[in-house]
Structure 1
């Protein structure tokens, strides 16, 4: 597993990006903004996949600007931001939760410019990334997950960033309720709750 610790200076404080082979192309592209067409890239990915953290890291690097939830911004305002970035010669990273092709832009000039941008997609987590996410969320909660528990979980968990976060929250809750360490049996019960929807309490995402 490879992890990049990022000392963020934003109001959200420090953060850590957990990465693996599936995310490395995005990391490499963010580090090569000079090669972006028209100095612009669009970062797309599912919920809880670390898009905002990556955008803050990129902005804090000083090489360019980032706009989170760019697809929700007024199109004229976004077009102005694009023009300003071009005039300043700065890279511009636009972050969206919409899948490629689902971001419908009514303003023709803006649509053509966004269409020419480099598209960066956060893919489904690979095994190394998924393991890293589980370990990171567990560490933030003070949970100890043994190698046996991790080995049991990895082939069974839904392959998504949000699922890894939600599962660790459920494991944490069951461990506290039972006043018991995390065993394969407890992890099995937590996974069953996630699969069958019998989750006690609303999921409140906290990380990445």
Structure 2
């Protein structure tokens, strides 16, 4: 995949998953994941919009550390003592706010994991100070956690994401499509996924290849 890129872009592989492209929008977060042994207080919150790569980087970290991964919504039913025997990653931690059993479970997991000398990674769409946590002790611990941000995609990352999304669908659009789309689409990961899916469906329904003219029509329709 990397050899097909028309720009010099480093690649990270994630536990049998697709390549992870490093660009200015995510370089700080990737560096923090790779330097996990240097996290202050051995904990980190990875913050970014949907589709930004939080789950992908969580799996990268798990492959580096041997960590277990659990969704925040499952914490209330989990064996916290068992989880805390090694590094732990909690996905979508912000979704636990207002769920009393879940908040209690995360509070105990946080304390026990760190007390055992292990590291804790959490992912969320927003920073902990925006989570409406009801448990004050949990809120203070989350707000004291170092943050790593996955930013909105720049041109390089957006083009790489589009290339990957097309390749996932075994599509080969004309060469000018990637820069054309990257310049004109809304700059978000979710938009990239919807755009490629719509282009794929349009090409299938019309029996035509994906061209700049087709891309222009799809972009106009999505903007309505």
Q: Shorter-chain TM-score: which interval?
A: 0.7 to 0.9
**Contact 1:135/1:145, CA 8 A, preserved across alignment:** no
Aligned to 1:115: 143
Matches within 5 A, 1:1-208: 1-8=9-16, 14-62=17-65, 64-73=87-96, 74-99=102-127, 101-196=129-224
**CA offsets, 1:94-143, max 9 Å, x none?**
11123553212222221111111111111010111000000000000011
Which SS does the other structure have where 1:93 is aligned?
strand
Q: How many residues align?
A: 191
Higher relative contact order (CA 8 A, sep 6+): 1
Listed as ranges, the gaps of 5+ residues in structure 1 are 9-13, 197-208
Over the residues paired in the alignment, what is the CA RMSD in angstroms? 1.6
**CA offsets, 1:65-117, max 9 Å, x none?**
21111223411100111112112211111111235532122222211111111
Mapped partners of 1:76, 1:100: distance in 2: 16
Mapped partners of 2:175, 2:13: distance in 1: 23
TM-score normalised per structure 1: 0.86
Listed as ranges, the gaps of 5+ residues in structure 2 are 1-8, 67-86, 97-101
TM-score normalised per structure 2: 0.80
